[in-house]
């Protein structure tokens, strides 16, 4: 065989049965042309073969390009070129914006070969002279579609594009069938490639979220310069050209705004009807409700734990209190026994003293002396302590009548001295109070002095209605008028002047006033006067007379709120919540607070009624 490689300067071997001979050959014709291309472009033979195959495939595409006939082509008016469909003019109505530049050029070439005026004239067809022939429409079509800028302007106002947006009623029952084609149709305007599709009911949350994120931030390349009503090239001067540009920009901006509103309406409507969005919202709502329920359960358990711990503390405090109360009860019982023993012993010694003196006829020679001594003996029985009575009785029992009389008279002198001393002290105290009243009584009451009852009442009212109380001094004056027994009506001015005078008093004088008020209270409320110096208080009075602290007051108020009136064994629970206080203490304090509140209300209501008048 004969091998002929197509390369210059390569020796070719002729194989023959006889001998091998080397000869030099040169490429000619199309082979020579291919050789020059390869040498100039510095490529191999294989690359050339691929390029030739690509050219052959492009030629085959041109051969396969099918053009649609446009029946109305010959009726087109070249002057109305803006309203014509340039794709239909070139026979590409079925391809439109998907047609490549090569296909557009091929279509133009085919239309020129078919509709060129010279060819038609040669065929005997009547030709319109100048630019009035319909062939001008073909020229205008290739001019616009071959220019990327002009083609984009024409594609933006494609007359075959459907700008309609489905209504809510259309997409309510068949959402995906109604909206998927619309989004695919409008995706052609996106400045970014790979616009996501609407998807299906099974699409994930991420895919749906990405879809609506892209469409809510949609960037459209669609512009409306093709619809400009005025052409600036036709302007006669620069000012007119500027005016035309201004008008065109305003019209484009309006159409662009309408286009973006159309797309936004499409996305909003789809979002409101999308069944997946509703499903995701329901799932999110259920998740939040579950989280909320879990938090509520955790909080409830925590509250229960706290309540159990608090109840345990209350139980421990109650048990400790019960233990202390039991111990205090034992101590009180022991004290009561001792008191009874002491009381019996005193009663025995008194009876013994009376009997001894009676047996000796009260140491008197006549009836008057005996009566006087009888009174002195009763005075001794009331004033002397147990030890003194025992000592006196022992002296009377061991001595004679005269010695006994001397001992009794001596003891009577001691008791009389004590009584006189106490009486003198009381007189001095009354005189001091009277002096204070006289010294401070010049400013109020219309010249009427303040008695011993009114001063403690004023101090109590000032503390009861602190600074900040509405119409404070009128309220204090009304309070005093309601509770005073002197019959003197005090005004707000009287109360203010008296309060200022009291502030100027020395601490000792204030203490004296408080002491007198306390003594008066004891006289009014004491059931039985004390007859023995060291007598133990009666059981009807509470042993725990300590004043309430701020902390105890807070605990009492909180317990009153915690245990309403309908609570069984309410006061036992309230007492358990206030350490150191008994049920009787809490009830007594509650009654005091109620009376205090009632008094304040009454005084304030009276002031309010006066102000209205």
Q: Assess whether 457 and 510 both reside in one domain.
A: yes
Would the pLDDT of 521 be above 70?
no
Tell me if 106 is assigned to some domain: yes
Q: How many domains does the chain have?
A: 4
pLDDT at 447: 47
Confidence grade of residue 41 (pLDDT, cut at 50, 70, 90): low
pLDDT at 42: 62
CATH number of 594's domain:
1.10.10.60
Tell me if 376 is assigned to some domain: no
Q: Assess whether 188 and 139 both reside in one domain.
A: no
CATH number of 482's domain:
1.10.10
Q: What is the DSSP string of 376-435?
A: HHHHHHHH--HHHHHHHHHHHHHS-HHHHHHHHHHHHHHHHHHHHHHHHHHHHHHHHHHH
Tell me if 517 is assigned to some domain: yes
CATH number of 116's domain:
1.10.287.110
Would the pLDDT of 11 be above 60?
no
Tell me if 390 is assigned to some domain: no
Q: Assess whether 101 and 182 both reside in one domain.
A: no
Q: Assess whether 244 and 180 both reside in one domain.
A: yes
Confidence grade of residue 230 (pLDDT, cut at 50, 70, 90): low
Which domain range does residue 134 map to? 73-156
- Going by C-alpha positions, the residue among 409, 414, 423, 417 that lies closest to residue 377 is 409
Last residue of a domain, one of 133, 156, 179: 156
Tell me if 20 is assigned to some domain: no
Q: Assess whether 182 and 249 both reside in one domain.
A: yes
Tell me if 392 is assigned to some domain: no
Q: Assess whether 183 and 152 both reside in one domain.
A: no
Would the pLDDT of 49 be above 60?
no
pLDDT at 437: 58
Percent of the chain past pLDDT 70, that is, above it, reads 82
Q: Assess whether 216 and 122 both reside in one domain.
A: no
pLDDT at 611: 66
Q: Assess whether 477 and 554 both reside in one domain.
A: no
**How high does pLDDT run on average in the chain?**
80
3-state SS class at 17: coil
Confidence grade of residue 423 (pLDDT, cut at 50, 70, 90): confident
pLDDT at 3: 36
pLDDT at 7: 40
The mean pLDDT of 106-133, rounded to a whole number, is 84
Last residue of a domain, one of 273, 306, 334: 273
Q: Assess whether 124 and 189 both reside in one domain.
A: no
Tell me if 46 is assigned to some domain: no
Q: Assess whether 554 and 580 both reside in one domain.
A: yes
Return all residues near 404 (Cβ < 8 A) that are at least 6 apart: 356, 357, 360, 363, 395, 396
Higher-pLDDT residue of 508 and 248 is 248
Q: Assess whether 517 and 566 both reside in one domain.
A: no
Return all residues near 433 (Cβ < 8 A) that are at least 6 apart: 452, 512, 513, 516
3-state SS class at 553: helix
Q: Which of 2-16, 118-132, 161-175 has the lowest mean pLDDT?
A: 2-16
Last residue of a domain, one of 505, 521, 537: 521
Tell me if 182 is assigned to some domain: yes
Using CA atoms, how far residue 127 sits from 74, 88, 90, 593, in Å, is 11, 22, 20, 120
Q: Which of 22-36, 89-103, 416-430 has the lowest mean pLDDT?
A: 22-36
Would the pLDDT of 59 be above 70?
no
Q: Assess whether 142 and 183 both reside in one domain.
A: no
pLDDT at 233: 66
pLDDT at 9: 43
pLDDT at 542: 44
Return all residues near 493 (Cβ < 8 A) that are at least 6 apart: 444
Return all residues near 543 (Cβ < 8 A) that are at least 6 apart: 328, 332, 537
């Amino acid at each position: 065989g004969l091998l002929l490689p197509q390369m210059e300067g390569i020796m070719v071997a002729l194989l023959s049965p006889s001998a091998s001979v080397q000869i030099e050959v040169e490429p000619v014709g199309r082979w020579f042309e291919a050789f020059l291309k390869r040498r100039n472009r510095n490529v191999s033979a294989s690359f050339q073969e691929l390029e030739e195959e690509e050219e052959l495939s492009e030629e085959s595409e041109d051969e396969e390009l099918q053009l649609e006939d446009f029946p109305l082509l010959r009726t087109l008016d070249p002057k109305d070129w803006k309203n014509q469909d340039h794709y239909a003019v070139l026979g590409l109505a079925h391809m439109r914006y998907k047609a490549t530049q090569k296909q557009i050029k091929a279509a133009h070439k085919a239309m020129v070969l078919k509709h060129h005026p010279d060819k038609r004239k040669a065929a005997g067809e009547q030709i319109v002279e100048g630019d009035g022939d319909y062939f001008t429409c073909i020229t205008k079509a290739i001019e616009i579609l071959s220019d990327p800028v002009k083609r984009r302007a024409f594609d933006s106002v494609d007359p075959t594009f459907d700008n309609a947006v489905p209504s809510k009623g259309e997409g309510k029952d068949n959402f995906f069938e109604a909206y998927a084609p619309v989004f695919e149709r409008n995706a052609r305007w996106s400045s970014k490639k790979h616009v996501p599709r609407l998807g299906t009911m099974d699409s994930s949350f991420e895919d749906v979220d990405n879809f609506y994120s892209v469409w809510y931030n949609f960037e459209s390349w669609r512009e409306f310069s093709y619809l400009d009503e005025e052409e600036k090239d036709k302007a006669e001067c620069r000012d007119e050209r500027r005016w035309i540009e201004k008008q065109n920009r305003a019209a484009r901006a309006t159409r662009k705004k309408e286009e973006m509103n159309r797309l936004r309406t499409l996305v909003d409507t789809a979002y409101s009807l999308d069944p997946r969005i509703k499903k995701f919202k329901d799932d999110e709502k259920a998740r939040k409700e579950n989280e909320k329920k879990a938090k509520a359960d955790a909080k409830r358990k925590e509250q229960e734990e706290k309540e159990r711990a608090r109840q345990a503390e209350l139980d421990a405090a109650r048990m400790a209190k019960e233990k202390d109360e039991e111990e205090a009860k034992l101590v009180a019982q022991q004290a009561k026994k001792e008191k009874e023993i002491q009381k019996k012993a005193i009663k025995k010694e008194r009876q013994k003293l009376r009997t001894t003196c009676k047996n000796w006829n009260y140491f008197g020679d006549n009836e008057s002396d005996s009566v006087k001594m009888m009174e002195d003996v009763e005075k001794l029985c009331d004033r002397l302590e147990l030890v003194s009575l025992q000592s006196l009785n022992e002296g009377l029992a061991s001595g004679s009548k005269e010695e006994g009389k001397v001992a009794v008279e001596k003891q009577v002198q001691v008791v009389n001295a004590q009584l006189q001393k106490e009486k003198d002290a009381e007189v001095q105290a009354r005189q001091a109070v009277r002096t204070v009243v006289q010294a401070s009584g010049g400013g109020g009451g219309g010249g009427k002095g303040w008695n011993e009852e009114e001063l403690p009442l004023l101090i109590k009212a000032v503390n009861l209605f602190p600074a900040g109380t509405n119409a404070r001094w009128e309220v204090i004056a009304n309070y005093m008028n309601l509770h005073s027994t002197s019959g003197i009506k005090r005004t707000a001015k009287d109360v203010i002047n008296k309060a200022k005078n009291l502030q100027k008093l020395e601490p000792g004088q204030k203490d004296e006033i408080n002491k007198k008020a306390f003594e008066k209270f004891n006289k009014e409320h004491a059931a039985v006067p004390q007859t023995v110096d060291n007598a133990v208080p009666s059981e009807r009075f509470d042993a725990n007379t300590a004043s309430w602290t701020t902390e105890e007051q807070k605990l009492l108020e909180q317990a009153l709120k915690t245990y309403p009136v309908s609570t069984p064994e309410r006061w036992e629970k309230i007492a358990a919540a206030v350490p150191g206080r008994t049920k009787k203490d809490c009830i007594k304090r509650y009654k005091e607070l109620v009376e205090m509140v009632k008094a304040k209300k009454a005084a304030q209501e009276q002031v309010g009624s006066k102000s209205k008048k």
